[in-house]
Each structure stands twice: as C-alpha cells, then as structure tokens.
Homo-oligomer: A and B are copies of this chain.
C-alpha cells in the first residue's frame, strides 16, 4: 500500500487506547488515525443525534446516539480483521484470503459510515429531500471537513477509497461486505446496541459465534456451514427487532407528528422571520428550500436533535394553533392513536377522516397512514440489482450454499414483507379529554370502526 510509505499508516499507537462501551465492553483504538477521526468536530456531532429517533418515546432507555453506534461498528470491523488475519491470512495475491493491508480502510469506513446522518434522519429527509448517504460522501471527500483532512494524511486518494467502501464501489468485496451486507458490522452493532439500550432482548444474538464462523473468500465474506444456526438466529433477531421495536406504533405515531410539524413549519417559513423568538435560524435553509449539500455542508452540520427540540419547545407558544399543538404533542409526548388496516378496510379511511374533521381536527395534520414493512432477509434477484446481498454458507469442501436453501426458518421469511399498515388519528377520538357532549355522537360513531386494534366495517360485523 502506498500509504505505508507515507509514514502515517506506520503510526500505530504506542499502546492501544480503550473507550469503555457497555455493549462491547471496550472499544480498542490501535491507530492514530482512528483516534484523530473520533476527535473531529463532524464525528463529535454524532453525540447529539440519537440512534433511534422517536423510539425512546416507547422504550425510554433508547437514548443512545449514533456516536456510540459508530464506535461499535468500528470495533466489530476491527475484530473481524483480527479474526481473518489470525485464521485466513492471504499468502499470495488472488488467493481469496484476507490482505491485512486493507484493515485501515475498512476500519475508517466502519467508523464513518453514518457520519452524514442528521437529526431524526428518516423524517427529516422525507420532508426536506436531503439524503444522508450523499452527505456522508460529501463529508468524507470535501476538503473543508476535519474528517477529510485527517483521512488525507494517509494519502491524497485515501478519502475517496473510504468513501467508495461506503458506497460499495470499492474493489475489495471483503471490505465492502464487512460494512454493507445482510450480516455486516453495521447491522450487528445496531441490533446488539438497540437491544441493550431498549431492554428488548430480541436483538441479542451471539456475536462471538458469528465472528467465529465468518470467513473471507474470493467474492467477499461467507460463513462456515457449522454456523448455520447462529446466522439463522441473527436473522430472526433482526426480524423480531423490526416487529417489536423499530415498527412500534407509538414511535411511528411520534414520527407522524414530527413529519406534520416539520411540514407545517415549512409552510410558515416566511412568518417566522417576523418573530425573532420563534425564528428557527439554523433550520431556515431547509424550510425555504435553499439548502445545497455541495455548498452548505456546514449548515447541515449545525443541526442536531437538541437544536430541533429547542425550536419545537419554543413553538409550543407560537400563534399558529396547528404548529403549537403539534409541537406540544411532540415535545410532551402525546402520541396519536392508530389502527391497522388492509386492502379491505383501506376504503374506510376517508369516512374516518371526515369524522375526525367533524370533531374539529384538520385531517391533513391530524391523520396519516404509514406502512412499515421490511424484508428480514432478501435473496439476490437479478432484477433488483442487489448484488451480493445474499448470505452464503461454505461447506467443508469449499462449495457455497445460499442461506435460505439451507435453513427452513429463513426460507420461510425470505423476501416476505413483514410489518403492518396503520391509520393514525388523535387520541381524543377514543378518549375524549373533556366530555364535550357536542361531539359525543361523533366519537361514538368513530369508535364503531375500531376493534382489536384494527379498522373494521361496523356494517359487516
């Protein structure tokens, strides 16, 4: 590697440093560049962005941030490299084994893979048309960031190499798959970490065992057949975490409120300037649509969860009743209620919206539908272009078998969409705060459409 010649690569720390982490016990830092990246302002900013957004409204322990997750991904990458170098060191070019000179680029990519995330990423991106993957690339390759300046000490091409690992165009597929595949360091860390902090035990698969059965091969990373059940369990863990944690209706309800709140603020962008106390200075480029990720990286990097919450808190007193009420519901945790619907009951929604409107709520801001579906495991489909997505198992004689062919359990859930579709509406429709007799009939009517957490057609039941 040319970097080696530049003297930076040869700067392992004299003695490794450790960061205490409740999930992995310790994060071991062995190279100066890793320490320097952690100390950049862009990376430190991840301390102020929660990993799970509104999920802590349902699982209050889930207050962990993208900072610790990023450290965790780095640590898992580091352990994979150790395991590969100990058990599968490359002896000659092209033997399909592990070339440890790839370690540093893999570790940097693991550490930085989420560097472009902003506050409440999912909803924010949806409303403001930003893209955290694009911004990740920009942070790594733009000469204005501290991250880029640290990476560049390894050589002028090094930032691009790290960025290409993250966007999966790097030529060494072993490195790419460590960071991005169906069983990668990213997913493994977030399952363990989200499980630890939520207290939901479902994501608690056996990391040590998975690392033990993981191995490099010519086309990337596969797993020894003896690890079949450990992988199977990991897939089911992920599936469970989606159903139990990531798709929890209360968290989705809080996201619905957040989305409507941001949407309303966008509509009020011009008004805010009139009242300095409510003016969301740092959000303005996004509200008025002038944000350009190429030129305004710093504007994006100034945002974090606390900044947004600070605006929301202030807006509780804003004169627009929709903005102030949604801000109150978001900040003080007054989630919407929801009910499942399906193809048969979807048609009931307009009727329900009209009842909600009759009860005094603007349906545009006070109702929503949300589909949460995910495929717990997905096999390569040429049409979908998900190359290398599938998990391969290696038999003792070196032949490969795709996971769903070897596992009944995985086969069942392969390619299946799991999750549900929900209709969200104000809690008041079910639990009127004051028995306003005026609306009682509307409430009663509305409630006939909800049974066992689902929409039903009262005429048919």
Interchain CB contact (< 8 A) of A232 among B61, B240, B279, B306: B240
CB pair B239–A409 under 8 Å, yes or no, is yes
Asked, given contacts A201-B204, A408-B413, whether A212 binds B47 with beta carbons under 8 Å apart, the answer is no
Asked, given contacts A212-B26, A244-B229, A302-B313, whether A21 binds B416 with beta carbons under 8 Å apart, the answer is no
Q: Is A289 an interface residue (CB 8 A)?
A: no
CB pair B71–A60 under 8 Å, yes or no, is yes
**Interface readout for A396-429 with B: 1 if CB under 8 Å, 0 if not?**
1101000000001100110010100000000000
Residue in chain B with minimal CB distance to A328? B41
Residue in chain B with minimal CB distance to A334? B39
**Interface readout for A250-293 with B: 1 if CB under 8 Å, 0 if not?**
00000000000000000000000000110101100000000000
A63 to B67, CA, bound (A): 11
CB pair A199–B20 under 8 Å, yes or no, is yes
Q: Is A2 an interface residue (CB 8 A)?
A: no
List 7 A-B pairs, minimum CB-CB distance, nearest first: A306-B306, A22-B199, A412-B412, A395-B452, A22-B61, A310-B310, A41-B332
**Interface readout for A48-85 with B: 1 if CB under 8 Å, 0 if not?**
10000000100111011101100100000000000000
CB pair B233–A240 under 8 Å, yes or no, is yes
CB pair B409–A26 under 8 Å, yes or no, is no
Residue in chain B with minimal CB distance to A240? B233
CB pair B87–A16 under 8 Å, yes or no, is yes
A243 to B226, CA, bound (A): 12
CB distance from A317 to the nearest CB of B (A): 9
| Total chain A interface residues with beta-carbon distance under 8 A | 79
Q: Is A309 an interface residue (CB 8 A)?
A: yes
A309 — which chain B residues lie within 8 A by C-beta? 48, 304, 306-307
CB distance from A104 to the nearest CB of B (A): 16
Q: Is A451 an interface residue (CB 8 A)?
A: yes
Interchain CB contact (< 8 A) of A204 among B63, B204, B282, B331: B204
Q: Is the interface of A mostly helix, strand, loop or mixed?
A: helix
CB pair A453–B310 under 8 Å, yes or no, is no
Q: Is A197 an interface residue (CB 8 A)?
A: yes
CB pair A64–B67 under 8 Å, yes or no, is no
CB pair B413–A198 under 8 Å, yes or no, is no
Copy total for this chain: 4
A396 to B453, CA, bound (A): 8
Residue in chain B with minimal CB distance to A228? B243
Give me 14 other A-B pairs in contact (C-beta within 8 A), A60-B65, A395-B452 excluded.
Answer: A20-B60, A22-B61, A22-B198, A22-B199, A26-B208, A48-B309, A202-B233, A229-B240, A232-B240, A233-B240, A307-B309, A396-B453, A397-B451, A399-B452
CB pair B68–A65 under 8 Å, yes or no, is no
Residue from A63, A276, A397 having most chain B Cβ neighbours under 10 A? A63
Interchain CB contact (< 8 A) of A208 among B16, B25, B86, B282: B25
Give A residues with C-beta under 8 Å from B. 15-16, 18-23, 25-26, 39, 41, 44, 47-48, 56, 59-61, 63-65, 67-68, 71, 86-87, 196-202, 204-206, 208-209, 212, 225, 229, 232-233, 236, 239-240, 243-244, 276-277, 279, 281-282, 302, 304-307, 309-310, 313-314, 331-333, 395-397, 399, 408-409, 412-413, 416, 418, 451-453
A73 to B365, CA, bound (A): 37
A239 — which chain B residues lie within 8 A by C-beta? 409
CB-defined A-B contacts under 8 Å, sample of 30: A18-B212, A20-B59, A20-B200, A21-B60, A26-B209, A26-B212, A44-B331, A48-B306, A60-B67, A60-B68, A61-B68, A63-B65, A201-B205, A202-B229, A225-B452, A236-B236, A236-B409, A276-B276, A281-B314, A306-B309, A306-B310, A307-B309, A307-B313, A396-B452, A396-B453, A399-B452, A408-B413, A408-B416, A408-B418, A412-B413
A399 to B376, CA, bound (A): 30
A453 to B199, CA, bound (A): 39
A202 — which chain B residues lie within 8 A by C-beta? 206, 229, 233
CB distance from A11 to the nearest CB of B (A): 15
A208 to B24, CA, bound (A): 10
A407 to B200, CA, bound (A): 19
A409 — which chain B residues lie within 8 A by C-beta? 236, 239, 409, 412-413
Residue from A21, A199, A279, A413 having most chain B Cβ neighbours under 10 A? A199
